[in-house]
Each structure stands twice: as C-alpha cells, then as structure tokens.
Amino acid sequence: MEKLAGAAPAAAVPATRRKRSLRRIGITGWLFASPWILGLLCFYAVPMLSSIYFSFTTYSILQPGEFVGLSNYVELFNDPLFWKSIYNTIYFAVFFVPLSIFVGVSLAMMLNMKVKGMAMFRTIFFLPTLVPQVALSVLWMWLLHPNFGLVNGMLASIGIDGPPWLGGEAWSKPSLILMSLWGIGQAVVIYLAGLGDISEEYYEAAAIDGASWFQKTRAVTLPLLTPVIFYNLVMGTIGAFQQFTLPYTLTKGQGTPSNSMTFYVMYLYENGFRYFKMGYASAMAWILFVIVMALTALIFVTSKRWVHYQGK
Amino acid sequence: MKKTWKTAMLTLVNLLTASLFVTACGTSTGTGNADEPGVTTVTLWHGLTSIDLDNMNNVVKVFEEKNPTVKIKLVYTESSEGSDQKLLTAVAGGNPPDAALFDRFKVGTWAAQGSLTDLSDMAEKSGIRKEMYYPFAWDESSYQGKLYAIPLDTDARLLFYNKDHFKEVGLDPENPPKTIAELESAAEKLTIKEGKRFKRVGFIPWYSQGWLYTWGWVFGGQFQDAATGKITANDPKVVEALQWMTDFGKKYNVEDITGFTSAAGTEEMDPFISGQISMKVTGNFAVKGIKKFNPKLNYGVTQIPSPSGKDFTTWSGGGSIIIPKGAKNAEVAWKFLEFLGKEEGQELVNKDSNLSVIDAVNVKYGYKDDPIMKEFINVLPNSHNRPVIPEGQLLWNELASATEKSTHGNGTPKENLDRVTETVNKALEKYNK
C-alpha cells in the first residue's frame, strides 16, 4: 500500500490525489467516530424504531405480542386517563414555562448587579439544583403539610388559613409549579452568561440618550437576551412535557388526589412497567414525541420574529 | 479506493462483532458457575435489609450445611418497583437468576405472561401441599390451578385504637367497637374538629390499610366470581361498603379529611403514633414502628368491626419465592424453595420479624400468647387474598380511583364500581382467548 498522502503539503499534490487523500481522512474520521455511531444506532435508533413497531403490537416485554394495527392509538383516544394526563401536562407546561422564564430572567438581572457578596447570592440560588429531585420532593411534602407544615404555619401567624396544597385537587398542580421553580438555578446561570455577553456600549449609548432603567431593560437587555430566552424556552418546554420525578415521588406513583397529578410520562411508565402494556406505552411515547416536536417547531418558526442576535 | 472501503467495512464488522461479544459476556455473568466440582451455585435475588437479611443469611447457612452440594448466592436488588424492573429485563433477556423473592400480589400477572416456572409437580413430589399453609397464602401463589411460588410470610389488617383517647372520652378501652354502628359512634366521640381543621381525628375508613378491599370483604362482598373468574367489584356488598365509606366522608367533609390524610406523615410523624388519629386500620407491620417511635403509646388492636359484629375478616398479602422461566439451575433452586416452604425454613426466615404462612410456626413463636399478635393469628385462617388475575395492578388502581371518586362525590359508588368491573373484565378478555 502507498504511504498516506496527508503528510505532503497540499499544494504540491495533484488535484486527483488530493481528493483521494481527503477521502482517506474522511474514512479515518468515520472510523474514529464509529464507536459513537454504533452506540447511537444500537441505543437510540434501534430502540426508537422498535418502539414504533411495538406501538402497533400488544408487546408486554415478557411476551412478543401480536400485531394489532392502530388499535393502541384508537384505545388511547378513548382512554379518559390519557386525556387527563395530557391536560395535566399541558396545564403544568403553560404555567410553568412562562413563569420560569419570568422568574429566571428577573433573578438573573438581580444577580447581575454589581453588589458586594454577589458570588454568595449566586451560589445560594444555584444550590437547590444540586439537591436530587426525590429529596427535594420529600422536603416540600414537609413544608407544604396542610396542618403542620412550615408554609401554612407562617400563613397562620399572619391570619391566613392556608390551602391544602398537595392534598387538594385545585392546589396540587400550582404547588408542583411552585416546587419546580426551586430548580431554576440552572437556567439562571445561562441567563447570567447571556447578560454578561451584552456589550456595555449599548447601555452607555442609552444612558447618553437619557434612558431610564426600565427603558434600558426593555430596549437593550431583553431583546439582546432573546437568544438565551429562546434556548431556555425550548429546553423548558421539552422538560415540562417530561415531568416525572417530582409528581411520582410526591404521590407515590398514584397521581393523587383524583389523578390531578397523573402526568403524561407517569401514565406512560405505569402502562409500560406496571400493567405490562409496553405496546400501549410505546404508542403514548410516539404521541408525546409528535406533540413535543410540533411545539418545538412552532417555537422555532415564531422565533424569527422575536429573537435578536447581536451584530445582526 | 475500493480497498479502503473494504477495510472500513471490515473494521465496522469487527467492531460490531466485538460489541456483540462484549454483550454476550455481559449476559453470561450473574448465573454463577460452580467454583468447586460437584457444587452448584444458586443465585437468589432479594431486596432484604436489616433483620430480614440476617434471617435469610441464617437460612442459607443452615441450608448449606444440610446440602453441601449447593451454594446459595444472595444478590441484593433494590426492592419494590426497582427489583421488578431488573427481574423483568433479566427474564426478557433470557438470563434470569435461579430464584427471586417476589411480591405474591404479582404472581398472577407474571404467571399469565409465562415468566414463572410451574412448581406444581416439584411441590407434589416434595410433599408441599395446600393444607400446610393458610388458604389465602396458597391461593395467592397459584394461578389457574398451578403453583408458581412458595409463600414466605404474611400480614393482616386490624383496627388499631388508642386506649388513652378511649378513656378520655368515656369509652371502654377493653371493649373496643365490634359493629360498624359502634365504630361510627366511637369515631364521633373521639373526633375534635375546629372549623375546617381536625385537632384530632376519630377514624377515617380509607386511611392507611383500611380501604375498599378491607371494607368490601368485611361487609361480606366478593371481588371475583370463583366459578367464572370474572371480577365482581360491583358486588352489592362491595357497593354497600363503598356507600358507607362515602357517607362517612360526607359527615366529616371529605375535603377536610383529604387535607389531613394527604399530609399524614410516616414514622414518628405517623398520626396514630403522634396521637392525631384515635383509630386506624393497619397491619402487623405497624407494630414495629410504634415500638420504635413511641413505645409508650397505650394502644390495642381488635378485629375490624363488621356490620353484624361477628364473622370478622381481613385480607393478607406477603412475599414469596419464585423460579423465573429460563432459570439455569431450576432443579437445584427448588431444593432451597422447598426448605423455605417447610416449617424449619419458615421458622428461621420470619424470626422476630414477620408472620409465618404456617400456623404452627406462629404458635411456636408464642404469638398466640401476645395480646397484640394473637389477634392477628386469630384472623389469619379467615383472611382473604386479592384476586389472582393477570391484571391485579389494574384492578388495584381502578378500585383506588373508584373510592376516591365516590368519596369526593364524582359519581355514585354503584356507577364507579360498575365501571371498574367493566374495565377490568374487558382487560382480562385477551387472556381467555
């Protein structure tokens, strides 16, 4: 075999040979990447494609099941708990995602101020994200205990009769949204990075024009932060639709009270691993995939109107 | 150029083979091979901790002394859902352990999926028979007339009541309620409510272990037709039980009760242990917690009050040991199951911890002389087991949901239980084909 041509200066190599060497480099690259590609194929592509197939069968994990066409999907659309879980999940997403952006941006702006000891505040707001979700849910169960919890205790001391929180159908999802905001630190860090990226010149220019803090925020900070908001919006939406750990641990997998805490992925898990209806669960997974895909596409399409990139 | 493609393809193929080889190696571990000639190692998956694990280690020691050709390898797998998932993957992957501890509740489901070894013949040869155990323990280990598990331990539900609270409101602590009517009036006397908040709750029918299975059976209902195997959650007696629960909830305002129950803690925060609730239905497993967190609690246990004041009953669950389908050393593993299923093994495995499924063992433990434990032993011969069906979990969840809906006024008990019956029977249809 001839020697690898890559060592020779490119200009000295005739065009055809150069092409060949490039291809060689390409192949070497593919070879190096192949373990990863293999992993991707084996652990993502194959399971995904099989789950499409399983969604048309009565696969139960322990038995291969038979092909039943679209009947899993038909059954799903007639399953009241499926609709309830979609409702719960959308409810959560609709309130949680905008709220998390609002709170996240506000927090980041506060944490961006040049005050002494700011590093400490930043740490404080980031710390809760380091607590495992299961531990977090147990902690919150204590805090939100209707009769003996700290929250209602504090409310009682100022004369307010606190709600049943996780015990009531009307309050369970708002409570969950409140708890989920606890894990906002991750997003705040990204917003902070985005804020740090905004050039000081804009503010100086705005100050010369006599802009107030509010005007600066509205005309400079927010528009230039939109790429980061966009990122967090997409990730937040996807995350909200995959809500699982918190409600699962809070309700011991039961979705109580009255299925008000049965979230989509929880119900999917229950079908797959507790009822052994893996075909049904696969169908649910694909519906979720389509929903999330569509929403993400929608966000991407509308983003052209409101996302501003610096220097463009 | 073709040559380079060839090498690339070759490398890919090599990589694929290598990865297959790696996975193949992965699957061959875990079954354990004999480290000495003539010795077979049986792998047992379990989720035991503390005293139960000590007991199991002891069982293994005694068993190995008697069977020098068998070694038992205990492998801890996380308990509850986690262990099932691991077992599920192992069985589905064709590489299960030789034996596993298993919730009897799930025997029906797994047997219907063809994932458990039929133990009937081996049991017959070894002289393991139904008469050895409490009837419910055997029934819950069997599916469609075949034995799929050896029952290990059991539990039962009773009414726990706070004797100090009884004295305080003028009730006789040595004469707890026997009928539903007496239970209601005691609950009324014991409850202290200020506005929407309970300062003390007398009783909540569906709290802790007192839920629809409990009351359905106590009211004399049946959840399954013995002849057809069909689910009968809308049995008139079960409907009556749920109606009673619903009325009870209405009386004390179900929303206020839900506020209390949903927030009720466990361990030292358990409302019975901390004196926030005067009576509750729970099982023998609660005794340990009371001893640990409030040993001074002055309480008693009694049979769950029934409409007539007699024919007391309850229901029981518990653990078992199974041999998964496809286990490599099923024959040898059976020896261990047999040992655990007979008196000697039973006595070792449940010592100072659980109720045995063999009455004689419980007598040997001295439970019949213990004021608390004897009540449990007395009711066990009449205890029920949950219907052994492939959709046991579905029935469980549907009953829970029907109870919640009815007590919260979403539909009548009859309507909700009709729906449960219909849903579960429809899900069962596919197994009868």
Q: Kindly report, residue by residue over A68-89, the tens digit of the pLDDT.
A: 999 999 999 999 999 999 999 9
Facing B260 at nearest CB: one of A1, A147, A161: A147
Closest CA to A137 of A176, A167, A169, A171: A176
Determine the 3-state secondary structure of B244 from DSSP: helix
A273:B88 CB<8 A? yes
Pairing of strands B197-200, B150-151: unpaired
Q: What is the pLDDT of residues B99-110, one digit of tens each?
A: 999 999 999 999
B263:A161 CB<8 A? no
Do residues A234 and A299 make contact, with C-beta atoms less than 8 angstroms apart? yes
- Tokens representing A218 are 């509205």
B391 to chain A: which residues are within 8 Å by CB? Answer: 275
A168:B197 CB<8 A? no
- Tokens representing B21 are 């080889």
Report the DSSP beta bridge partners of residue B45.
B75, B100
Closest CA to B49 of B57, B59, B61, B41: B57
User: What gap in Å lies between CA B242 and CA B206, rounded to an integer?
Assistant: 10
User: Which pLDDT band holds residue A141 (cuts at 50, 70, 90)?
Assistant: confident
Measured in whole angstroms, how far is the alpha carbon of residue A245 from the centre of its chain?
A: 13
Q: Residue B304 gets which letter from DSSP?
A: P
Closest CA to B329 of B38, B41, B36, B27: B41
Specify the length of chain A in residues: 312
Give every CB contact of residue A294 below 8 A, 6+ residues apart in sequence.
none
Q: What's the Cα-to-Cα distance from B350 to each of A105, A172, B52, B82, B123, rounded to whole Å?
A: 58, 41, 7, 23, 21
User: Which pLDDT band holds residue B3 (cuts at 50, 70, 90)?
Assistant: low
B393:A274 CB<8 A? yes
Predicted pLDDT of residue B25: 43
Q: What is the pLDDT of residues A281-293, one digit of tens each?
A: 999 999 999 999 9
B115:A141 CB<8 A? no
B269 to chain A: which residues are within 8 Å by CB? Answer: 148
Among A30, A62, A249, the residue to mutate for chain B (most B Cβ within 10 A): A62
Among B2, B193, B262, the residue to mutate for chain A (most A Cβ within 10 A): B262
Q: What is the pLDDT of residues B376-425, one digit of tens each?
A: 999 999 999 999 999 999 999 999 989 988 998 889 999 999 999 999 99
- Tokens representing B59 are 């069982």
More confident residue, A1 or A86: A86
- Tokens representing B317 are 């669950």
Facing B92 at nearest CB: one of A62, A146, A167: A62
Predicted pLDDT of residue B9: 60
For residue A99, give how far its alpha carbon lies from the nearest alpha carbon of chain B (Å). Answer: 27
Facing A258 at nearest CB: one of B15, B19, B404: B404
H or E element, residue B100? strand B99-103
Closest CA to A172 of A144, A131, A153: A144
Size of interface A-B (CB pairs under 8 A): 95
Backbone angles phi, psi at B164, to 5 degrees: -65, -40
Measured in whole angstroms, how far is the alpha carbon of residue B429 from the centre of its chain?
A: 25
B263:A62 CB<8 A? no
User: What gap in Å lies between CA A155 and CA A150, rounded to an integer?
Assistant: 9
Facing B258 at nearest CB: one of A24, A142, A168: A168
- Tokens representing A51 are 């789950």
Positive or negative CA dihedral for A282, A286, A291, A295? positive
Give every CB contact of residue B195 below 8 A, 6+ residues apart in sequence.
none
What chain B residue is nearest to A66 in terms of C-alpha separation?
A: B430
pLDDT, mean over chain B: 90
For residue B205, give how far its alpha carbon lies from the nearest alpha carbon of chain A (Å). Answer: 17
User: What gap in Å lies between CA B257 and CA B243, rounded to an integer?
Assistant: 17
Do residues B255 and B263 make contact, with C-beta atoms less than 8 angstroms apart? no
B113 to chain A: which residues are within 8 Å by CB? Answer: 60, 62-63, 276
Backbone angles phi, psi at A68, to 5 degrees: -125, 15
Measured in whole angstroms, how far is the alpha carbon of residue A177 from the centre of its chain?
A: 14
Residue with tokens 């150029």: B1
Q: What's the Cα-to-Cα distance from A182 to each of A19, A149, B228, rounded to whole Å?
A: 55, 18, 53
Least confident of A19-23, B244-248, B367-371: A19-23
Do residues B380 and B316 make contact, with C-beta atoms less than 8 angstroms apart? yes
B255 to chain A: which residues are within 8 Å by CB? Answer: 164, 168
User: What gap in Å lies between CA A69 and CA A56, rounded to an integer?
Assistant: 5
Do residues A259 and B397 make contact, with C-beta atoms less than 8 angstroms apart? no
